[in-house]
Structures are given as C-alpha cells and as structure tokens.
Chain A
Amino acid sequence: MTAFLGLSAFHRDAAVDDERRRRVAVQEERFSGKPGDASFPRRSVRWCLDEAGLRAGDLDGVVVSQKPLRTFERLLASHLEEFPRSARGFARAMFLWLGDRLWMRSRVAQELEVEAKRVLFCEHARAHAASAAFAAGLDDAAVLVLDDVGEWTTTAQCRVRAGAVEVLAEMRFPDSLGLVASAITQYLGFVPGQDEEVLGALGAHGAPRMLEHLRELVVPLDRGAFRVDRRAFPFRRGGDLAYGDALVEALGPARASGQPLLASGDDTRHADVAASAHALLAERAVDAARALRERVADVPDLALTGFLAQDARIVARVAEQSGFERVHAAPYADDAGAALGAALVGAQGAAFVGPLLGPRAEDDLGEHEGAKELDGADEVPRRIAERLERGELVGWARGRLALGRGALGGRIALASASEEGARARLLDALQLGESWRECFVLAPAERADEWFDVPPAARPAAARGGAVVRPRDSIARALNAASPAPVRRNPSRAARHQGISRLTPDPSSKSYDPIAK
C-alpha cells in the first residue's frame, strides 16, 4: 500500500492520499479556531490519519509543500541585494530560519515519529498545480499558478499530463502579484497575508481612478510578464512594511489600522485604491493566462490556482479574456491546497479530488446547541425555506467540511435576499463587522434575469460561470450595494437552490425569496 501525508509549509494544513483513494484534508484552524493558525498541525494530522485508518508508521512519505533550502537561499540573496536597508529584516528572518525552519526534516520526523528519510519536499508551485488540475478532474490541462511566493517562484505556467506536473516557465521573487496584493492590503490598513479579499470586496464600492499610477509600478513586459517597482514594493527587505515610499507618492497617504475607511459618500479614496489595485491584478493575471494560451495552444482547459486564484472576480476576468475554452478555479487555491497537492505529487496520482475532504457535519452535530439533523431530499429545502420566509437566518452544514479558505461548500449561512439590509444582518450575526464584506446571491441560472442585469454578450459566459453581472434593484437593496459581481456556476448548489425555490411563492408576487449567502 502506498500512502502519503502532505503538509503545507510552514506547518498549517494536512492532507492524506493513499492508493485506495482515501483522500482527506483539513486546515489546522478548523480545530483551533484561530484563522491562519501556523502552529504544527498536530490535530489535523491526527484527524487525517484517523480518518484514513492509518498510523504515521504506515506512511510511505510525508511531503512538505516547499523546498526549504531554496526558500532560505532566496531570503539570503534578497537581503544581500538590499544591503544595507535589510538589516532589521535579516536579523528577524535568520533568527526564524536558523532556529526552526531550516530543520524542517527533523522537526517533522520528530513530531510524527517517522524516519527522517521519509520526509520529502515538493516545490510549492508544483504542489499548487497538482491540486488545481486534479481538483478539476483534468488529466491534461494548462495550469497558471498566481501565488505570492514559494521558494523563488511567484507565478508559474505549468502543464499537467497523466499525473505529472511540468513547469514550463516561472516568474521569480520579487515580481509577485500576490505580494503586491498583500502590500496594498497593508497600505489600506488591513492585515497582509490574511485580509486580501478586501481588495475585491472594497473595490466593488469604488472606481479604478488610480489604475494608471499602479500600471507604472507593476510594468508589463513581453509575453504577459511584469516587473514590480522595487521602491513601491520593497519585498526583498523583509521589513514590517511591504509597501514603500513610491506607492505612497502614487496613491497618497496610507490608512492606518483603526482610521476611518473612506468607501462611501463624497470621499471613496480607499475603495478607489482597492478597485484600482484589483483591476491591475486582474489585468496582469489575464496577460499571464493569454501568454500561457499561446504556449499551449492545443490545450482547451486552464486551471487557476495560487493566492490570487481565490479571488472570484480575477477568475471571472481570466475566464472571459484568456482565450481558453474552459477555466477552472481550484476550490482550495491557498496553501491548504498545496498540502493536498504535495500528497498527490508524492503519490503521483491523477484523479478527481473534490473539495469536500474534511470532517463530516454529523460528526459534531451534538456539539452545537439547537442543531437539528434533517433527513430526506424534500425536508431539507422545505425546512430551510420556511425559516427563511419567517425572516430567520439559517446555518446549513452538509456533508464534509470543504478545504480552502474560499471554499463555499459544506457550511453556509443563509438569509432571505428579499429583505432590505439582509447582508448587514447576516454579517452582524456572523460577527463580521465590516460592512463591505461580500455575500453571494444564489439563484438558478435560467432565472438569473429576474434578479440580475446580464448583458447579452455575457450570457454564454454567465451560463458556464465567469461573467460579471449587476444586481437589479430588489437584490441591490438586500445587499446594500449595486456593484457588479462575478458569476460562479455550481450545479450542485444551483440544484439545491431550485429545491428551495419550488417551495417559495412566484417572484412576481414580490415575496419570493432568492437566497443570499
């Protein structure tokens, strides 16, 4: 029997793949409740092994989704190049690496009590590419990795064939769209590496007025490549700030955490910065995808993954403009997917891997007061529709927990979108105080016209997912926003929604409940 455990670098998530195709994966934060928990994933490893019926000693290998010596080389080289401005970052990075990360093989071996020779290492981009292609069930596909940074690689054009990943070309640190996204997130007063979704969500409330300035700081090169301005984005220094003076000169003063967010009324500067940054990232992502299309002209499928592929609007732009026939976004495009990809690279397996790989809802049903198990295809939509019609908010847990930060399957919170301010109420209940955070409208595709303004030219793309549409008034009131939003198609979700919509009144009666998530 062959069985591989994947770990995302550094110590965050775990996944198991074995020859019986028992694939399970979970993020450590699901157990600890701490977002982005970076401690050694003892609990996720324990759960994955239990679920797969394995002991650590049964594993053929534990594959870490990064080559640590290459990452260390990158850090050293970057600090040398930035001398003498990298003094502070050097001391901090070397302390962390010399004290811990450089000894990953022995740390993993010790924690899991496996032989050191069974601890293996896979390039970060390769792990991402494997998880993306296999998630889409593709045996032959182009894969574009739009990441922050792995070892050296920030962006990679890959081809996956018959279970093997070939990296065709790569862009290297510090030219990174993911790090640009992090830097502008930090410029806006949010936490880099955690709050990047702010760019898409907040940007929907603004206009890309600063796009020209940003284009000068992330300059396009030949064949869809780009160069990041080192003064605006001093990533190589490794200091506290990921943005530099040139960005402040171009966009104006940065927002400190806790200062008012300018996103409505007369002054929408912060929303405009987010919109501009988002437009720039989408532009460069489309350029890179088009270049990949030229390189592999005979391949109709593109799988997108990496840090930026978590952004549905960027995926939508790539789907519309890259020239590929079909574009697939990995449901676990973040580092959780890299853990799964590492296990798949170890097992050299090419088979469909869905996103629902975590603990089952029914396993912890008794742990939530008021939770009820519903049974039967009819009862579930009926009970949910009844509650929504009464104006209640509904939490719906179904099947296994999905892997990945942006994954929408398995656990959803629902509110009726016929109510004004439904989004605000839902976010309040979820203790997400930021009013700009996004909710998604679930609607059956064939009736999308009732709630959305879908331009005729965008209809084919809307039908398969990947168009951008504008909500009509009734939905806009519920969402408290009329900004265009991307369409993502999910047949299983649509089917569930249809199940609910059959039980609700006709939309013309104005009491029909489309569902906002």
Chain B
Amino acid sequence: MMSPWNIPCRANTLRGQLKHSWLENQVCNKTANDVATLWRTGMWDKEIDEIFPYRIDQSRQLANEMLSGFSPAQLVDQLSPLQSLPHDSRSRLKDVLHSTYLESSGIRTLSESLSQELEAFAEEFTEFLTVWNTERTDENEPALRDGWNQLQQVANSLLAVFETLPKGVVLP
C-alpha cells in the first residue's frame, strides 16, 4: 500500500491518535503495577468509565470509515491543479480512483482485521470493567492485575493491526 509523503487526511489523524495517544501510551505502556496504583487511588476512574469506551467507539468509526477515509478520491477536491476541472471530470476521476484503490490496496482486509481485533478488545475490556468495579481491597488486587494483563494481550494484537494501517492518503 503506497502513501508517499503521508498526505494528511482525517482518517490518518484519528489512526495516529488512537494508536499513539491511547493504545500505546494508555494501554500497552501501562504495567499491572501502574494500573493497580491507579485503581487504588481512583485516579483512573474517568479513563476507564468514559475515555476507554469513547476510544473504542472512535476505533469502530475508523474501521467503518477507513475505506473512504484513506481514499485518493478525496484528493480530487483538495489538489489545487484539479480544482478548475469541470464537475463531471472530477466526478469521473473520483469514481475511477476510488474503485482502483479498493481493488489494489487491500484496504478492505485491513478494515476487517481492525474490526475483528477491536471487538476482541471490547469484549475483554467489558470483563476488565467487572474487576475494576470490585471493592478496592488487597484481596481483589490480583484479579485486577490478571485482568489488565489479559487486556494488554488483546491490546497488543489490536496495536499490531494499527501498525499496518496507512499513514496518509493511499495512492493506487
């Protein structure tokens, strides 16, 4: 899949935010020790109750919209040399570029992989929520640590898919 110059698009910004600011910094780089401390102090309640579900929703949105989100068809409206073309020409260009990109890029497979790993993560997160919401005692801490370790395993698989996503508009 070719995306020279990492030509910016909204889908790529969202991809980057989810991968770097959430999956890497908030999930994969947090140890069970870190999470146990955050659990005890209650400092992470908002993240677990609100931010994680929000990020999961955003990831679903990315998976659903990435076929058009990374499409070169959007460049037809953005590239200044093409802006003077008649509407019909631009429309035909968009259609042919989008269909060629869908045929050649493998983007559908990536979208399916993302959805699949994401749902595995969402399922594991629901289980983790159960232990997060238990009473914050010494007895319950081992279950919390186990739950986090399991969540990290599926997070790593999800991250691996994120790493295969394009980093800008894809050229066919």
Indicate whether A and B interact: no
Interface residues of B (CB under 8 A from A): none
Interface residues of A (CB under 8 A from B): none
